[in-house]
Chains A and B, each alone.
Chain A
């Protein structure tokens, strides 16, 4: 049995009359880049929001690195070790890039209000540690030179990088990215892919929700395909690519034969 980081099973979620997720689950092994794909409205983001504590599921079991966790509070999920980014970048716009990453260190540090007011030695040391680590992370994602600029003034691709650096600052066991390539041009996508490969190479497990099938196919070790809230395929990118149900979901039934020869994009 391989080393499983995230094990989620039997997730159901209903919004009024719409069954957004039915019996969805996945297992992510340590070090994998795991892709979650599906057409618009398939329930990818809903599932993502469930595992990160944003939506309360109607049912489901959740286990992170062998320990059950309950995704009821968003901040507890981050504490447990899942860091996420958002589909429509959510930085702290008026804070500097460095401060953004420093906020990410919050959950792994413990200075109190009293410690800050009295400026105790422990607080000063911790603060130096936070700053040092945050600068390292900015360097890691390649935007160290923008450390003192306000986040909202950064270019789009750099904002994405900053969001990833901020998520990494929480020392996650699993880095969950919600459509990181959305709105990027081909060059930016290539650069992002390089960054994610580095992150993965440095031992961090990644869950990737993506619209860009090409990116997913090139990057992921394993893929789950959702359609109308159901899992229609699980497997390696190659397997999934040839799966008839997947092709039908993306292109409609009539195209099945044609598309089977090429890439479902």
Chain B
């Protein structure tokens, strides 16, 4: 399943050549897109964050088959955790914290990443534990509620103690820095001037690659098979001695981990978080990415995340000019058109590629057996 280039599989050199080519493209990509403005590089960096989110959700929905509509809550948990630990908000509101940390709260990325992962994992278990026995629609509704509860909490935890600053959100969040090397400033590496967005792009690229590697390894492991077994037939999985409760909790918590880390990165990248970024709509977009790409198939999920993350940016830059050129003025706003096209794309996908754009490959015996096999499944 992890073969990206099955036809080249047999040749080691070909694999290395392909890998080198992909690596070169990924490294040069921000420079190419940068020609059209830094907004494009920023969109690329966001696409990488969405890859992390989509792969995390894919563990829960794609591998374990647990429909989760509140996934963005883990993103929120990671984002707010970083925001609180690396902004003047807490020291400004709680004198005792200001006394304990006279220089303000600034935390190293090496602390924040594990902490974000751990906290999100804990929230994953918090969500997972009560929904263990739920399936399908019921599970979806409860997880949807969970996502909204987190958002509403963030929106209202500004009184009596001002923890999250409510709807105004938290500002002045520290950018990511490795010691003195800050990603917020233009840095010169090997004589090449790299603006801040480029630096974030490269950093997120590394995180996204780590995420992909982890997901591939999990998929091909004992645990990955247990998840898929639960997705395919929970009772049969139990009869094989799989402790369904533990394995489901692991899916929720490991899935949440990626959301938490991505959230912390989001918060540092933006320098600002507010509950508005974590609405149900965001959960649905991440879900749409994995369904569009190919549920449970890692390359497909990555493709889906890239397409849906870049697509709005593309529209923003083309819809206005094209209409101006054709009609002399703008008739439909990019934002409106985006939702219409999303809807249309989803309908077309469901009609013509119900398993997504790049689904897991089929491994069937000759078609003459299908009828019998189908009957056996129905029985």
Number of interface residues of B (CB under 8 A): 40
Our pick among A79, A116, A156 for the contact of B218 (Cβ within 8 Å) is: A116
**Which of A89, A126, A150 contacts B376 (CB under 8 A)?**
A89
Whether B364 contacts A153 by the Cβ 8 Å rule is yes
CB distance from A129 to the nearest CB of B (A): 11
What's the nearest-Cβ distance from chain B to residue A54, in Å?
8
A156 in contact with B375 (CB, 8 Å): yes
B233 & A92 in contact (Cβ 8 Å cutoff): yes
**0 or 1 for each of A91-115: is its CB under 8 Å from B? (1 = yes):** 1111110010011111101011101
Q: In the complex, A130→B226 CA distance in Å?
A: 13
Closest to B250 in A: A113
Question: Does A74 contact B225, Cβ atoms closer than 8 Å?
Answer: no
B254 at the interface (CB under 8 A from A): yes
Does A75 interact with chain B (Cβ within 8 Å)?
yes
Are A84's CB and B239's CB within 8 A?
A: yes
Chain B contacts of A52 at CB under 8 A? 239
Q: Judge whether A116 and B221 touch: CB under 8 Å.
A: yes
The answer to whether A74 touches B362 (Cβ under 8 A) is: no
| Residue of A with least CB distance to B225 | A103
A248 to chain B, nearest CB (A): 31
Q: Is the interface of B mostly helix, strand, loop or mixed?
A: helix
Contact between chains at B377 and A93 (CB < 8 Å): yes
A73 to B217, CA, bound (A): 29
Decide if A221 is an interface residue (CB 8 Å cutoff). Answer: no
Q: Which of A103, A115, A155 has the most CB of B within 10 A?
A: A103
Please give the distance in Å from A112's CB to the nearest CB on chain B. 8
- B113 contacts A by Cβ under 8 Å: no
Q: How many A-B residue pairs have C-beta atoms within 8 angstroms? Tell me.
A: 137
| Pair A111/B222 contact, Cβ less than 8 Å | yes
In whole angstroms, how far apart are the Cα atoms of A86 and B223 in the complex?
Answer: 23
Question: A103–B229 contact, CB under 8 A?
Answer: yes
Give per-residue flags for A1-12: 1 if the beta carbon is below 8 A from chain B beta carbons, else 0: 000000000000
Asked if A78 contacts B240 (CB within 8 A), the reply is yes
Q: Are A116 and B223 in contact (CB under 8 A)?
A: yes
- A149 proximity list for chain B (CB < 8 A): 363-365
B185 at the interface (CB under 8 A from A): no
Give the chain A neighbours of B374 by CB distance below 8 A: 152
Given the contacts A92-B232, A149-B365, A75 and B373 also touching, CB distance less than 8 Å: no
* Interface size range of chain A in the complex: 35 or more
Is there an interface contact between A113 and B373, defined as CB atoms closer than 8 Å? no
Interface membership of chain B positions 344-376, coded 1 if the CB is closer than 8 angstroms to chain A and 0 otherwise: 000000000000000010111100011011111
B223 adjacent to A166 (CB under 8 Å):
no
Residue of B nearest to A84 (CB): B239
**B217 & A119 in contact (Cβ 8 Å cutoff):** yes
| Contact across chains for A92 and B236 when beta carbons are under 8 A apart | yes
Considering the chains assembled together, what is the distance between the CA atoms of A92 and B375 in angstroms? 15
Minimum CB–CB distance for A7 against chain B, Å: 21
Contacting residue for A117 out of B217, B226, B239, CB 8 A = B217
Does the CB pair A113–B362 fall under 8 Å? no
Inter-chain CA distance A155–B363, complex, in Å, is: 14
Q: Which of B241-249, B275-283, B300-308 contacts A (4 or more CB under 8 A)?
A: B241-249
User: How far is the CB of B294 from the nearest CB of chain A, in Å?
Assistant: 13
- B243 in contact with A75 (CB, 8 Å): yes
B241 touches A107 (CB 8 A): yes
Interface residues of A in 115-170 (CB under 8 A from B): 115-117, 119, 123, 126-127, 130, 146, 148-150, 152-156, 159, 166, 170
**Chain A window 153-195, contacts with chain B (Cβ cutoff 8 Å), 1 for yes, 0 for no:** 1111001000000100010000000000001000000000000
CA distance A89 to B375 in the complex (A): 11
A90 within 8 A of B: yes
- Residue of A88, A95, A111, A123 most packed against chain B (CB within 10 A): A95
Minimum distance in angstroms from B54 CB to a CB of chain A: 18
Shortest Cβ distance from A235 into chain B, in angstroms? 30
**Is B233's CB under 8 angstroms from A91's CB?**
yes
Asked whether A156 and B240 contact (CB < 8 A) given A74-B235, A117-B218, the answer is: no
Partner of A106, one of B214, B225, B250, B362: B225
Give every chain A residue within 8 A of B328 (Cβ-Cβ). Answer: none
Closest chain B CB from A114 CB (angstroms): 10
Q: Are B228's CB and A154's CB within 8 A?
A: no
Q: Which residues of B are at the interface with A, using a C-beta cutoff of 8 A? A: 214, 217-218, 220-226, 228-229, 232-233, 235-244, 250, 254, 360, 362-365, 369-370, 372-377, 379
18 contacts between A and B (CB under 8 A): A74-B235, A75-B241, A78-B240, A84-B239, A89-B379, A92-B228, A92-B236, A92-B237, A102-B225, A106-B242, A116-B222, A123-B221, A149-B365, A153-B369, A155-B369, A156-B373, A170-B240, A183-B376
6 cross-chain pairs, A with B, having the tightest CB-CB distances, nearest first: A107-B241, A78-B241, A116-B221, A92-B232, A74-B238, A90-B236
Q: A95-B232, A127-B221, A153-B364 are in contact. List 20 more A-B contacts (CB 8 A).
A: A73-B238, A74-B239, A75-B238, A75-B240, A75-B242, A86-B236, A89-B377, A90-B235, A91-B232, A92-B232, A93-B233, A99-B228, A103-B229, A104-B240, A116-B221, A117-B218, A123-B221, A154-B369, A156-B373, A156-B376
Point out residues on A near B: beta carbons under 8 Å: 52, 54, 73-75, 78-79, 83-84, 86, 88-96, 99, 102-107, 109, 111-113, 115-117, 119, 123, 126-127, 130, 146, 148-150, 152-156, 159, 166, 170, 183
